[in-house]
Amino acid sequence: MQQTTPAHTQRTAAPLSLLQKLPLIGIYLFMVLLCLFCLAPFIWPILSAFSIKPENVSGLYLYIPAAWTLKGFDDAIFGRGQALILLKNSLLTTVGGVGFAVIFSALGGYTLSRSEFRFKRALMYSFLLIQIIPATATILPFFIIMRELHLIDSLWGVTIGLTAGQIPFLLWVMKGFFDEVPKELEESAAIDGATRLQILWYVIVPLALPGLGAASVLAFNSAWSAFFMPLILLSSPDKFLLPLGLFRSIIGYTNIDYRMMNAMSIIYLLPSFLFFLLARRYLVRGMMAGAMAGN
Amino acid sequence: MAKEPPLISRRSERTMLALFLGPAVIIVLIFTIMPALWAIYVSFTNRALTGARSVTYDFVGIANYVKLLSNEIFLHSISLTLWYTLWTNIGQFVLGLATALFLNRANLWGKTFLLAAVVLPMVIPAVIQSLIWSSMLAIGEYGTLNRILGLVGIAPVMWLREAPMISVTLVNFWNNSGFAMILFLAGLENIPREVIEAAQIDGANAWQTLTRIRLPLIRYVIMLWLLLNTLGCLGVFDLVYTLTRGGPGNRTQLVGIYIYDQSFKFYELGMGSAASVILLFISLIIGLIYVRVLRVTL
Amino acid sequence: MSHDQKTAGAGISRRSMLRLMATATGAAVLAACGKSTGTATGDGANAEPIELTYMTPDRELGQKVDKLAIASFNERMKKEGKPWSVKGVPGPATDNDYNTKINVDAGAGTLPDIVSLGASVVADLAAGGALAELSDHINKWGDYAHVFPVLKEANLINGKNYTLPGSASTFTFFYRKDVLAKNNIKDTQPNTWDDFYGLCDNIAKAGVTAVCLPAATAWGGGTWEEGFRQVWMSFNGEIYSESEGKWVVSSPGLLKALTVYQTLAKNKWLTVDALLNPNPWEPTKYQMFPKGELAVCTGGDWQWTFDWGPTGATPIDGLFEKVGRWQFPSEDGKPFVFVGTGGGPAVSAKTKNLDAAWAFLEHMARADVSCEANKVYLGGPSGMDNFAELCPDYKTQVGGKMLEATQFFATGKILRNRVGESKIVDGIGRATEDVITLKATPEEAMAAFAAAMKDSLGADKIKQA
């Protein structure tokens, strides 16, 4: 029998001394500080959304509340905010936009991963790089194109705009993760008579899932926070998206109802956050049941 | 493999190319490329957004470019943007990677909480982010950050007056480290367990596993993130504008803000577009550098 | 990072169909981006119903007022048998975004029939041909005779009217009477800047921060509108030459104006730190002033309602007893008020029906409609000299302050919005910032300002005086 015991069993055998535990404590400490850093800025919005501010105090800064209240949420949902309609609009456009983008990018990413054609490199790089021209420089022609297509002030217009915005990023990520899936698997499936689409859906996608999941979450977040393009494109209030609805907290010039604004922000971040929680199963393989490579 | 007939015939390959890739390309072509090409065209004119020169304008060749490249303020914008991009990338890389590594380990407590905490800042709109940080970074004891520092006995700092670039970069760490974390985590999760275990059996310690095994295997993801994040930083606008409007003075006037000012404050569309194209060239160069240095083919 | 805001490009594959499509769309886009010539049809009422769109910023109180005006107009049109009606379209609430939307709409030819414009954008929109000229209608308007002369004059751009005259705001200093009284400081109107400095000195000695005069870049347009413009105007000398079409970028008057800021900053009478904060009005007008920690700030009539009124951002109890107004002191000892005007509702050059649009503008200006609107909120004085008779409530609303403000029209000064003003405003923001942070002397700041303006406006649009 061998005398050398494998390293990992050696480690778990003996209890760790304090010195050995130190890196672990350090890591935990770092993570705790990071959590604090990430969460500290939320003190103000949460405080502001649920409280009544005392007199003579600006609503923008931290204060000791005069009282607690749900009026902010009341205003946001049932009052001037009309948050439910905004939420519906945001959900329709974002889910639609990201949905289309994911489908088109999955198909396209697969093609980019598996085929070679002459201008492939140029196409991929230019897709990525031309995004750098900021929206402020391109909003006018974009608007005119939308006008020609009769998509001004329409949720479909916003959806298509969001789709176009997310495709380049998704294409890249999907191609990257598809690249990691070995071609042999495809070939054996093809020999068994599967069509390209079936191969894509049943073989490739499950194996690339962490990457696809990550990309979808990021795309959702990005589309969810779209502000400038919908601002210019939409003019009917019943079509506005949530970020635009934040404006409704503005009462006059500089007088802002921070309470309602923060209440609406909290409503706003819930779907994106929920989507993230739902999708995190696909992000972390350890949390996924039974979808390991090689099946 | 070479001797057998090709798996998919050439014709159906072409069809697949068209059908699968077609929709994505067409949509991007119409809604993003065409406007970008228009912007490039306008950069050679002196067209204004409103006013007399929005109706009758002239072709001015490279005059806008010359003006920009010899303009101190614009060059300053570029250097600020590069600084911002560099430090943002470093900071977000460290935070994102550290968190991803932490989450990648199977047996630590508090994973979901950490995941949620880091992702939460990404989920709120830029408008609110700026408002929150305006509240955090306010002067004197009004600002939340100063209050927190006061708890440990540090005097209040006028963040946005004395260290505006640092403040803005700090906010960006907060804002977008989740992006890095999610991508890196996906990449790390993709590494089969067996590879890590094999390395550990061979006697590799944690650091070696990290640098010799994990990082190289997620090179593609890192490269992708680096490229995407850099592009995002080069073109940043929302966050910085609402926090500082490019001030105090010109100290945080990054290129995105410069372009906005040119196009929408001064109505000079030609100048704004030219600045955008210059930004495009800079990104191209940086992209090429990345490909060279990291030696990752995409 | 928002991906949707980036635009992407693609290499063109060898698909000729794609290429053809691209060229076709491209041609269409470029053609559409060209000139937009508007034709405003002015024919009389015809049977076909016409619905006009009316855009205003999406601010709560403003929207309430608009709804009332629109409802009463639509009702009246039905009664009179005219096929005209108006639909309200809210635009972005913040000035920057609102103006952006207007400019994009104007550029694409989709400007709503009737738009509410701030004074600062009218000149450029008119020059770009986006607005319909209203001079004919205004000259035939019965109530035109009742508009205060200063507002009539300020509304003209090259002798033509593009907005409905009548909305105005008077800009002054606002100060805490009670804080001064408590510290035995006489609050007589300062006639010269030295008088003002004396007041500041006394206030500072009493341990109160003296004044918040908008400056620096963080305040955006407010630096110019609420502060610097008036300070510059308080000194003799040209600011803009109508005949030459040039802005003055270097003059003794400008230098003296910058020196005022330097004096205030050096003596620590000015709230310098707060001015460098984002949203600088928050710590100053909404925190220190209501608490009595700041004695003087600037602004216009809207503040009685929006900032410190009962429904305002930070209400002040006993507002009318505690807060008073001072006119701006001037070099020649004759204090003055600035009358901000020139904005208001305008009509798109491409409107469906100019007469219908005018009918709505005229309707909004009627005394009874205004009177109703004022019950929702009253944010500024009326531009009609007979309004108090037609609407008695006006005399006592907002403590009678709005009626009081109309006295200033007779002696108020104006400075019309001119093309290129946004660049001047930006330059002044930077110049004042350098001066109040003591980074530059007024001379240096002015030299830098002149150089920057030469660069951005062009050498042919600037002059020395």
Residue C311, chain A, CB below 8 Å: the answer is yes
Position C14 confidence tier, pLDDT thresholds 50, 70, 90: very low
pLDDT digits (tens, 9 = 90+) for C71-100: 999 999 999 999 999 999 999 988 888 999
Residue C159 belongs to some domain of the structure: yes
Are C361 and C440 in a shared domain? no
Using CB atoms within 10 A of its CB, is residue C253 exposed (0-12), middle (13-18) or buried (19+)?
buried
Other Cβ atoms less than 10 A from the Cβ of A284: the count is: 22
- Report CB contact under 8 Å: B139, C287: no
- Average pLDDT of B69-84? 93
Residue B10's pLDDT is what? 67
Q: At what angle do helices B219-234 and A155-179 cross, to 10 degrees?
A: 150
- Measure in Å the smallest separation between the Cα of A108 and chain C Cα atoms: 13
For residue C102 the two structure tokens come to: 């207007």
Residue A255, chain B, CB below 8 Å: the answer is no
Residue C432 has pLDDT above 90, yes or no: yes
To which residue do tokens 């007939």 refer? B5
Beta-bridged to residue B197, according to DSSP, are none
Q: Which of C2, C25, C127 sits opposite B34 (nearest CB)?
A: C25
Q: Which residues of B touch A186 (CB under 8 A)?
A: 7
- Comparing C260 with B102, which gets the higher pLDDT? C260
Could you check whether the bond before residue C310 is cis, i.e. omega within 30 degrees of 0?
no
Name the C residues in 367-386 with CB < 8 Å from any A CB. 377, 379
- Measure in Å the smallest separation between the Cα of B277 and chain A Cα atoms: 7
- Report CB contact under 8 Å: A273, B116: yes
- Residue % of chain B over a pLDDT of 70: 94
Residue C27's pLDDT is what? 42
Q: Which residues of A touch C291 (CB under 8 A)?
A: 56
| SS3 state at C168 | strand
Number of domains chain C is built from = 2
pLDDT digits (tens, 9 = 90+) for B264-288: 888 899 999 999 999 999 998 998 8
- Report CB contact under 8 Å: B38, C30: yes
Q: Which residues of A touch C89 (CB under 8 A)?
A: 235-236
- Comparing C32 with C81, which gets the higher pLDDT? C81
What is the full DSSP assignment across A50-92? HEEPPTT--TTS----SEE-SHHHHHHHTSTT-HHHHHHHHHH
Residue C277's pLDDT is what? 81
Q: Which residues of B touch C127 (CB under 8 A)?
A: 50-52
Q: What's B68-294's CATH class?
A: mainly alpha
Residue A144, chain C, CB below 8 Å: the answer is yes
Q: Which residues of C touch A133 (CB under 8 A)?
A: 6-7
Q: Which of A135, A236, A255 sits opposite C7 (nearest CB)?
A: A135
Residue C413, chain B, CB below 8 Å: the answer is no
- Report CB contact under 8 Å: B112, A280: yes
Residue A116, chain C, CB below 8 Å: the answer is no
> In whole angstroms, how large is the CA radius of gyration of chain A?
25
> Is-contact C285 C264, C-beta < 8 A?
no
- Measure in Å the smallest separation between the Cα of B247 and chain C Cα atoms: 6
Q: Which of A179-183, C38-42, C351-355 has the lowest mean pLDDT?
A: C38-42
Q: Which of A133, A148, A223 sits opposite C7 (nearest CB)?
A: A133
- Measure in Å the smallest separation between the Cα of A222 and chain B Cα atoms: 8
pTM here is 0.85
- Report CB contact under 8 Å: C218, B244: yes
- Measure in Å the smallest separation between the Cα of C344 and chain A Cα atoms: 16
Chain B contact partners (≥3 CB pairs within 8 A):
A, C
Spell out the domain ranges in chain B: 68-294
Residue C424 has pLDDT above 90, yes or no: yes
Q: Which of B112-121, C81-90, C166-175, C232-241 has the lowest mean pLDDT?
A: B112-121
- Report CB contact under 8 Å: B49, A140: yes
- Measure in Å the smallest separation between the Cα of B49 and chain C Cα atoms: 7
Q: Which residues of C touch A158 (CB under 8 A)?
A: none
Q: Which residues of A touch B98 (CB under 8 A)?
A: 30, 34
Name the A residues in 38-77 with CB < 8 Å from any B CB. 38-45, 58, 60-62
Other Cβ atoms less than 10 A from the Cβ of C460: the count is: 10
Residue C41 has pLDDT above 80, yes or no: no
Are C306 and C243 in a shared domain? yes
pLDDT digits (tens, 9 = 90+) for B187-243: 888 788 888 888 888 887 777 777 888 888 888 888 888 988 998 899 888 888 878
Mean pLDDT is highest, among A26-30, B138-142, B254-258, B284-288, for B254-258
Chain C contact probe: residue of B19, B21, B54 with most C CBs at under 10 A: B54
- Report CB contact under 8 Å: C106, B35: no
Are C328 and C288 in a shared domain? yes
Residue C2, chain A, CB below 8 Å: the answer is yes
Residue C1 has pLDDT above 60, yes or no: no
- Residue C435's domain is classified under what CATH number? 3.40.190.10
Name the closest residue on chain B to residue A279, using Cα atoms.
B182
Torsion angle (degrees, nearest 10) of CA A115, A117, A119, A124: 0
- Report CB contact under 8 Å: B117, A225: no
Residue C203's pLDDT is what? 95
Residues C465, C453: Cα–Cα separation, whole Å: 15
Name the closest residue on chain B to residue A284, using Cα atoms.
B189
Residue C62 belongs to some domain of the structure: yes
> Is-contact A137 B280, C-beta < 8 A?
no
Q: Which residues of B touch C26 (CB under 8 A)?
A: 34, 37-38
Residue C144's pLDDT is what? 92
Residue A25's pLDDT is what? 84
Are C399 and C266 in a shared domain? no
| SS3 state at A182 | coil
Question: What residue numbers bound the domain in which C320 lies?
Answer: 169-339+416-464
Q: Which of A108, A141, A276 sits opposite B35 (nearest CB)?
A: A141
Task: Spell out, as residue ranges, where chain A has pLDDT lower than 70.
Answer: 1-20, 281-295
Residue A159, chain C, CB below 8 Å: the answer is no
Work out the angle at residue A167's Cα, subtended by the Cα atoms of residues A165 and A170, and round it to the nearest 5 degrees.
120
- Report CB contact under 8 Å: C107, B54: yes
| Strand bridging mode C323-326 / C168-176 | antiparallel
Which among C400, C398, C403 is positioned nearest to C386, based on CA atoms?
C403
pLDDT digits (tens, 9 = 90+) for C48-66: 889 999 999 988 888 999 9
Chain B contact probe: residue of A138, A232, A277 with most B CBs at under 10 A: A138
State whether the Cα torsion A15-A17-A20-A23 is positive or negative. positive
For residue B268 the two structure tokens come to: 């000079």
Residue A282's pLDDT is what? 67
For residue C430 the two structure tokens come to: 């930077």
- Report CB contact under 8 Å: A284, B185: yes
Residue C338's pLDDT is what? 93
- Average pLDDT of C162-168? 90
Residues C308, C398: Cα–Cα separation, whole Å: 11
- Measure in Å the smallest separation between the Cα of C463 and chain A Cα atoms: 31
- Report CB contact under 8 Å: C276, B247: yes
- Residue % of chain C over a pLDDT of 90: 61
Q: ipTM score here?
A: 0.84
| Strand bridging mode C246-250 / C240-241 | antiparallel
Position C11 confidence tier, pLDDT thresholds 50, 70, 90: very low
| SS3 state at C418 | coil
- Report CB contact under 8 Å: A161, C104: no
Name the A residues in 194-253 with CB < 8 Å from any C CB. 219, 222-223, 225-229, 231-232, 235-237, 244, 247-248, 250-253
The DSSP 8-state label assigned to residue B48 in this structure reads: B
Residue C242's pLDDT is what? 85
Are C333 and C460 in a shared domain? yes
Chain A contact probe: residue of B21, B171, B185 with most A CBs at under 10 A: B21
Architecture field, domain A75-287 = Orthogonal Bundle (1.10)
Residue A251's pLDDT is what? 80
Spell out the domain ranges in chain A: 75-287
Chain C contact probe: residue of B19, B46, B50 with most C CBs at under 10 A: B50
